[in-house]
Structure 1
C-alpha cells in the first residue's frame, strides 16, 4: 500500500518595520513615537515605523523633509547596520530553534518548513511570535500556507489585519485561501512588480484570486515560467522548496561613499584599508581565499560643477590568500597609480575576485602559498573580534573615527556589539 506523503506547509516570518523596531527595543520611550531610518550619509528614508508611513514616503531625501518630521513629531535615526545585523541573527536563532528547517530570505524575514509537524500550526505561529518578542523585543508577523508564495501573501494579510488576527494567519484551508486571494490586489503578490501588474491588468487580472484561476500555460506563453509558477502556487500547488544554504560567493565587494569630498591621498588610503578589513572578514567567514583584487576610486558623477574622474586597477596576488595584511598593502599601494590631484573624490571600492575554497586550487610545484603562520594570525584576529566586537583588533592603517567616515549624526549606540556601548539601566 502506498504511503501518503505529508501535506506541504510553509511559514513566512517577517519582522514588523524591522529597522525602526530595532531602535525601539533600546528606546522604549519611543514605543508610541513614529520613527524613520535614513540611508548612508543620512541621505534618504529607507525604513519607517507603521505610524510614520502616512506622513513620509519611502526614499524621500532627508534634507527636504526635516520640517515635516518636526511637524509630525517623527524621530529620525541614522542607519546602524551593526545593530540591525546582530538583532537579525538573534531573531533567526530563536525561530530556527522552533522549526525543522529555516531559509533566511533577508535580514528581516525567513521561510520555515513546517511539513510533517504534528502540532497545530496556527498555535505554533503564535508561540513563535511570542517567543521572538520575548527574547528580542522584535514584533513579527507569521503567514502559514501550503506554498511559499501563499505563505508570503498570508504574512501580508497577518500584518494588514493584525488587530483582528493577532499577527498570525493560516490559509491552508481552501475557504481561507480564497478569501485572502480575493481581498488582495495582484500587485501584493510576491514577485509581481509594477510593469507586470500593468500587463496583467490588460488581461483583466487584477486580484490575486484572478491570477490563481488563470490558465498557467497561457501565463507561461505570454510572460515566463516564473509567473506560471506563481499562479500555480497561489492555486495551492507547491513549485518552490526551501533553498539550500547559500554557496560561497565568487566575488566580495565593499564600497562606501565618503562622508565628505576628499582632496588628498592619505585619507583615501585609510578608507581603502578600512574597506579591505571588512571585505577580508567576509572572505574568511566563508572560508575562501582570494587570487585577485580590484581597487577603484571616483569623484561624484552628478554635480555638473565638479570635474569628474574614475579609475580602477586589477591586481594579481602572489598566492591565494585571506591575509588582510597582504590584501591591504596591495590595495593601498595601487592607489598611488590611481590618484590624480585636483579632483574631489567621493567614493572608493575594493572587490575581491577569483575566490576559491581551500584545497580547490592547484598551483605548480614551485608556486608560493600562504604561510601557515599567516593563517594562524588571521584565526586569532577573527576570534578576538568575534568575542570583543568588530574592530577591537585591526590593521594600524584603519582609523577608529575618521573624518571621512559616513555622516551618521543621529545614529543610536551599538547596544549589542560594543562593550563600551552596552545598554545601561539607572535608578529613577
Structure 2
C-alpha cells in the first residue's frame, strides 16, 4: 500500500497542512462549465458544495434516485455481444441523450474546450525529483490574469497534470513563501492555486456524478449475485447505461472494484470472499468488453489493453511495454497525447472518490501516466516549508497548530495512508 513515513516534524506538519489546505480549497462552490467544446446540450445538476464525505452521501442519494431497480429482462432482450439494451435515466428520451452526447474534438468523456487544445498543451519536463511540477507551475502561472474562457481551455487541455501531488507541492511553496517573508510570491502562488482548484473541481463535477451513479447501478447487479441469482448479460448491459459517460463510468467502476478486491487476496481471513467477489466482477467485465460497439461508444476500447498492464510500481513492470501498448492503440502523436491525457484524467477523477475502493486504481493509472509522460513513476516526497518553531511562535493557522500538536504524540513510524507512493 502507499504510505508516507516521515519522522521529522516539518515534513509531518507539511503533510497535514497540505491535506487540510486542499480540502479547504475544495469547499469552493461549483459552477457550470463554460467550455464550448463539450456537449451540444448539457443537463446541469445542482451544485455540489464540496467533494467530501458529506458530499459523497448526497451523491449516493442522487445515485439511488437516478438508478431505479433494474427491470426484469426477457429472452427477447438484447443478449448478443454487440447489442445494447438500456433505458435512459429519469425518463429522458433517447433523442435527448443522443443530443447530450454530441462531443467535439473526439473526446466525449473528458471534454476539450476546442480543436486547438494541442496548442494549449503543457510541454512537461522532468525536474531533479523526476516530476513535471516546475514546468506545469510555470505554464499555470502564465495563465493568471486570463479570462474565464482562457482558464477553462487551459485546464481542459491539461487536466491530467493537476493531481494531488501537484497541489501538495504547490501548497508547500505557498507555505514556504509565507514563512520566509516573500509576500509577493505567496500572493501569486495562492492565486494560481485558487484558479487550479476551482476550475478542476468545476471540470470534474459531471464525471463525479456519473461515477457515483454507476456505483449504484453496479450495486444492483451485484445484489443479484448476493441473492444467488446470476444476472443475464442484458441486465448487465442495461445497468451500464446508454450514454458515453454512463458506459465509461460503469466500466471504470467495475475495473476499480476488481483492483480493490485483489488487494484483499493477501488477507487470509477474507481471501475466499475476495476471490468470489472478483469472479463476479470479472464476469460483469467480460460481458461489457465482449460488446465492442458499446466499448467504442464509451471510449473504453483503447483503454482495455492498457488496463491489462500492471501498475508501473510493480517489480515486473516494463516501461517500454507500456509505451508499445500505447502506440498499438493510438495511431499518431495527437491520438497518443489524447489517450495519455485521458489516463491522467481517470486517476484525477478517482481521487475524488472513496479511498479504499479506488486507491489501487489511482496508484496504477497515475504511475502509468508518469511513465508515458516522464519515463518513470513519480513518488510523493516531503517538501521543506521553513516552518517556524512551534514552541516559540504562535501559528496564525489553526490547522498548522493542530498539525504541530499532533506531531508531538505520533510515533516516528506512524503510517499515513495516501493515494500515492512516497519517496523512501
Higher relative contact order (CA closer than 8 Å, sequence separation 6+) = 2
Q: Which has the higher strand share?
A: 1
TM-score (norm 2): 0.26
Of the two, which has the highest radius of gyration? 1
